[in-house]
Amino acid sequence: MKICVQFIGIFLGISCGLYGDSEFPMVQEGWPAALKDGRLVHESPEGIVLHEEGKKPRLWIEGGRWPRWSRNGNALFFIRGKEIGWKDYRSGKETMILRMTQPSVLAVYDHGREVWVGEGQQVKALNPETGELRLVIEDDTFRELDVGPDGKRMVATVRGKRGGNIIRYFDLQRGETRDIGKGCSASLSPDGTLATNNVSGHQELYLTQVKDGRLFKSLKTPEGHRTDNQYWSTHPDWVVALSEKKGQILAQRVTDGKVWILTEKVNADRPDLWVP
């Protein structure tokens, strides 16, 4: 099985031209048909903006940052100041859960069963219903964070002891960690088997197998763009990213590397895409 998975990854890379140094992915504007029912959120200076295909973008959560969807799309979790909150998609009701000392990053476990929050050198799991906290791990300064679907795997961008950023994988069941490599934009595929790593001067995204640290696939950045803060959507075939040069949010399809420009030029950051 290991050999088959690795072969499939290599085959996809070769067949789609993703490993050629001179190859750039195809870029299209507008939302692809596969994302017509999707919901995109991102940070802005005013708060969190919601984009839906065919609708005008709107400021959805004033003063909010670090938006992350629950897997079922029913709720969006966020940080506002020093508080952790969530907003119900259907009713629009906002609920502030807990005030912390200095929350910096967050990820959502499952459909919102827990919210995992980075604070200093710790990651804490917050129960949205009770407000109770439990310590997940204490490791290093957490700059980005994502949790696997079983709650037993985690990936993070941490500050390396010798400087720079490192993508680190945590096997929480075994109490083991593994450095995947230098880079940033840590996130996990929906099944928790692959981790993202932004490398090559923000011109390439590695998809790495967390079980053994081997490269599964490489996604090139479109020509004329420099991407950052990639985050795997709730669908295994879509990753979103910020185009630093263009000020736009991009969606990249994993199977063939093609890219769609989802927004006009906006002062955006930290995108997250929910796909049904």
Domain assignment present for 276? no
Buried b (16+ CB within 10 A) or exposed e, 211-242: eeeebbbbbbbbeebebebbbbbbbebbbbbb
pTM, whole model, 2 decimals? 0.89
Domain assignment present for 161? yes
Residue-number span of the structural domain to which 258 is assigned:
2-271
Q: What is the pLDDT at residue 271?
A: 98
From first to last of the 276 residues of the chain, give the pLDDT tens digit: 433 333 334 333 433 333 344 478 989 999 999 999 999 999 999 999 999 999 999 999 999 999 999 999 999 999 999 999 999 999 999 999 999 999 999 999 999 999 999 999 999 999 999 999 999 999 889 999 999 999 999 999 998 777 789 999 999 999 999 999 999 999 999 999 999 999 999 999 999 999 999 999 999 999 999 999 999 999 999 999 999 988 899 999 999 999 999 999 888 999 999 999
What is the CATH number for 251? 2.130.10.10
- Structural domains counted in the chain: 1
Domain assignment present for 164? yes
Token pair 């088997």 is at which residue? Answer: 193
Residues 6+ apart with CB under 8 A from 131: 97, 98
Residues 6+ apart with CB under 8 A from 243: 225, 226, 227, 249, 250, 261
Q: What is the pLDDT at residue 15?
A: 35
Q: What is the pLDDT at residue 24?
A: 84
Buried b (16+ CB within 10 A) or exposed e, 124-159: bbbebeeeebeebbebbebbbbbbbeebebbbbbbe
Nearest partner of 216 among 235, 191, 241, judged by Cα: 191
Q: What is the pLDDT at residue 8?
A: 35
Asked if 262 and 249 count as a contact pair (C-beta separation under 8 A), the reply is yes
Domain assignment present for 237? yes
Residues 6+ apart with CB under 8 A from 68: 76, 77, 78, 106, 107, 108, 272
Q: What is the pLDDT at residue 236?
A: 98
205 CB-side CA count, 13 A: 33
